[in-house]
Amino acid sequence: MAVENLASNSMANISWLHGLLWWRNWGKRDWAISAIGFAVFVFALAFVSYSWNSDPDSNLSSTFHRITATDLVDLTLLHNATRRGAVCLDGSLPGYHFQRGFGSGANSWVLYIEGGGWCNTIESCFWRKEIHLGSSKHMGHRVHFTGILSPHQTQNPEFFNWNRVKVQYCDGASLAGHPDNELRNGARLFFRGQLIWEALMDKFFSLGLSEAKQALLAGCSAGGLAALIHCDEFRGLLPKNVTVKCLADAGFFLDEKDVIENPTMRYFFHDVFILHGLRKSLHKDCIARKEPAECLFPKEIIKNIATPVFLLHSAYDFWQIQNILIPEGSDPYHYWQKCRLDIHNCNATQVEILQGYRRSLLKALKEFQKNKEGGMFISSCFIHCQAWMTETWHAPTSPRINNKVR
């Protein structure tokens, strides 16, 4: 069976997802586990191979409107961060991009944390120091606000006039690292993700987050994992009468063995956990019950989150296929080479293995479905991260269900 035939016959307008995500009551079990076919020109970018340190949240412009000045948002460095030791891997200042809300959105906030993998060794962290994922010296001074951050009502009807923040990701551990385990190897590396998070929150409160009536913490990939890790902490910073929810976009990483039965992702997360000293940022009950690195997997994290969470994810997330299920080191004879880059090239045996990975995802989410305050949208698109890009957030080609918008 072709992968696209796994889809239900219905197509979903992503606007329906918006409504479910925010304006409907998540307590009514409005679950949408929808498998959606491919829109070829939209997902052509999915054919690019990503590495552990890749940045799925790159600055691709929308094909649906001419870029204007309102789309381009300047980088702001957190100048008071040095005082509290909240610095990127190389010791430079962390940064963010901010557009102030207006009208009915003046007291509403959406914070979106960019993705970009993790570093699990001294060597890989040193490599990240030379790019924007580890240093503000290499961050783009202006970025396009598209998708969930777009200022255009036609492309982002629910959030276009909210206070919108894109958080630059430069610590290599989903904004969760602690300096306790900082190491030296010729030049110093700073593992300060938790401190960066705290400094950012202080800054956003000074910009008006303290007056918010509703707030959404979201993120893509490693940023989606960060949104899960900090979800309840974010909720706790705001008054009880504020509506707070969290969105993990492509942030539900599976603890699954690869095609040659190696627990590649578990080993990788174990190294990240040790190197960055993540123990203090993860739930203490999980740490007490499990091998600590397991507590970095979203399946365990969501068990302890009290704040409403929405998961936006693909059952055939190409980053996970290329790095968890079929990492290059587990395919020495290149049997999977064409398939892992484009699942239209997979043979029947390979498709069955990919379907097994999908089943593992749905099994991992089975308990979460009992959470009356949560929700999910699981597609079958060969893509990684869907909220940050207009083409998959709100566009004529975005997924629909029964050609209806809820």
> Structural domain tally of the chain?
1
Alpha-carbon span 143 to 149, nearest angstrom = 11
Tell me whether residue 329 is in a domain. Answer: yes
Tell me whether residue 113 is in a domain. Answer: yes
Give the three-class secondary structure for 305: coil
Query: Mean pLDDT across the stretch 387-399?
Result: 80
Q: pLDDT tens, 272-309?
A: 999 999 999 999 999 999 998 899 999 999 999 999 99
Tell me whether residue 189 is in a domain. Answer: yes
- Active site includes 270? no
Per-residue model confidence (pLDDT) at position 56: 44
- Active site includes 384? yes
- Exactly one of 92, 124, 136, 221 is catalytic; name it: 221
Q: Cα separations (Å) of 194 from 50, 151, 180, 224, 232?
A: 26, 29, 11, 15, 14
First to last CA, the chain: 31
Tell me whether residue 31 is in a domain. Answer: yes
State the Cα torsion 61-63-68-70 to the nearest 10°.
Answer: -60
Q: pLDDT tens, 218-231?
A: 999 999 999 999 99
**Residue 150 lies in domain:** 3-393
Question: Structure pTM?
Answer: 0.84
Task: Indicate the pLDDT class of residue 38, thresholds 50, 70 and 90.
Answer: very low
Per-residue model confidence (pLDDT) at position 37: 30
Tell me whether residue 400 is in a domain. Answer: no
- Exactly one of 178, 230, 384, 394 is catalytic; name it: 384
Q: Are 41 and 395 in contact (CB under 8 A)?
A: no
Tell me whether residue 187 is in a domain. Answer: yes
- Ranking 11-15, 192-196, 311-315, 334-338 by mean pLDDT, the lowest is 11-15
Nearby residues of 209 by Cβ (< 8 Å), 6 or more positions away: 109, 163, 201, 215, 238
Give the three-class secondary structure for 353: helix
> Is the dihedral angle over the CA atoms 281, 360, 271, 53 positive or is it negative?
negative
Q: pLDDT tens, 238-278?
A: 999 999 999 999 999 999 999 999 999 999 999 999 999 99
Per-residue model confidence (pLDDT) at position 388: 86
The DSSP secondary-structure symbol of 109 reads E
Q: pLDDT tens, 143-198?
A: 999 999 999 998 999 999 999 999 999 999 999 999 987 765 455 899 999 999 99
Tell me whether residue 402 is in a domain. Answer: no
Tell me whether residue 404 is in a domain. Answer: no
Q: What is the CATH number of the domain that holds 229?
A: 3.40.50
- Exactly one of 55, 171, 255, 317 is catalytic; name it: 317
pLDDT > 90 in the chain, percent: 71
Return the amino acid letter for 138: H
- Active site includes 206? no
